[in-house]
Amino acid sequence: MSPPLVIKNGTVVNDDGMFKADVLVKNGIIVEISPNIIPLPDMELIDASDRLVIPGGIDPHTHMQMPYMGEVTKDDFLKGTEAAVAGGTTMIIDFCCPDHRNGESLMAGYARWRSWADPKVCCDYGLSVAITMWRPETADQMAVITSPEFGVNSFKFYMAYEGTLMVKDDEMYRAMQECAKLRALARVHAENGAVIKEKEKDLLAKGVTGPEGHTQSRPEEIEAEATNRACVLAAQANCPVYIVHVMTKGAAAAISHHRSLGSIVFGEPIAAGLALDGSHYYDEDWLHAARYVMSPPLSRDPTTPELLMKLLASGELHLTGTDNCTYDCRQKSLGKGNFTKIPNGINGVEDRMSVVWEKGVHSGHIDPMRYVAITSSTAAKIFNIYPKKGRIAVGSDADIVIFNPNAYRIISKDTHHHVS
Ligand SMILES: NC(=O)NCCC(=O)O
Ligand SMILES: [Zn+2]
Ligand SMILES: [Zn+2]
37 and 71 in a single domain? The answer is no
Exposure letters 286-301 (e unless 16+ CB within 10 A, then b): beebbbbbbbbbbbbe
Q: How far apart are CA 23 and CA 47, in angstroms?
A: 11
pLDDT in tens, 60-91: 999 999 999 889 999 999 999 999 999 999 99
What is the pLDDT, as a whole number, of residue 61?
98
Identify whether 419 is part of a domain.
no
Partners of residue 21 on adjacent β-strands: 10
Tell me how far the alpha carbon of residue 356 lies from the centroid of ligand 3, in angstroms.
18
Distance from the first to the final alpha carbon of the chain = 33
Same domain, 11 and 83: no
**39 and 117 share a domain?**
no
Q: Choose the residue to mutate in 294, 299, 341, 346 for probing ligand 1, maximizing ligand atoms within 8 Å of C-beta.
A: 294
* Mutation test residue for ligand 1: of 63, 192, 349, the one with most atoms within 8 Å of CB: 63
What is the pLDDT of the chain when averaged over all its residues? 97
For residue 380, tell me if it sits in a domain.
Answer: no
Inside any domain, residue 370: no
Kind and range of the H or E element at 23? Answer: strand 17-26
Q: What is the pTM of this model?
A: 0.98
Residues with CB under 6 A from ligand 1: 63, 189, 294-295, 323, 325, 344-345
Contact by Cβ (8 Å): 403, 18:
no
Residues 150 and 283 in one domain: yes
Domain identity same for 291 and 233: yes
Q: Is residue 383 part of a domain?
A: no
The yes-or-no verdict on residue 420 having pLDDT over 90 is no
Residue 85 lies in a domain: yes
Indicate whether 46 and 162 sit together in one domain: no
pLDDT of residue 385: 98
The answer on 41 and 139 residing in a single domain is no
Final residue of a structural domain among 317, 334, 350: 350
Average pLDDT value for residue range 348-373: 98
**For a pocket test of ligand 1, which of 188, 245, 298, 341 has the largest count of ligand atoms closer than 8 A to its C-beta?**
245
Number of domains in the chain: 2
How far does the centroid of ligand 1 lie from the alpha carbon of residue 404, in Å?
31
| Bond preceding residue 387 cis, omega within 30 of 0 | yes
Q: Is residue 221 assigned to a domain?
A: yes
Residue of minimum CA distance from atom 5 in ligand 1:
345
Residues 18 and 109 in one domain: no
Residue 413 lies in a domain: no
Where residue 202 falls among pLDDT bands split at 50, 70, 90?
A: very high
- How far does the centroid of ligand 1 lie from the alpha carbon of residue 157, in Å? 12
Q: In terms of domains, do 120 and 43 share one?
A: no
Asked if residue 1 has pLDDT above 80, the reply is no
Q: Does the residue 368 lie in any domain? A: no
Which CATH number fits the domain that encloses residue 276?
3.20.20.140
The ipTM value here is 0.98
Q: Which ligand is nearest to the CA of 68?
A: 1
| Residue 36 shares a structural domain with residue 66 | no
- Provide the CATH number for the domain around residue 34: 2.30.40.10
Q: Is the pLDDT of residue 14 over 80?
A: yes
pLDDT tens digits along 243-264? 999 999 999 999 999 999 999 9
Ligand 1 atom 4, closest CA = 345
On whether both 112 and 228 belong to a single domain, the answer is: yes
Between the CA of 183 and the centroid of ligand 3 the distance, in Å, is 22
User: Is residue 175 pLDDT above 80, yes or no?
Assistant: yes
Continuous segment of H or E residues that includes residue 158: strand 154-158
Q: What percent of the chain has pLDDT over 70?
A: 100
Domain that holds residue 216: 57-350
Question: Do 178 and 261 share a structural domain?
Answer: yes
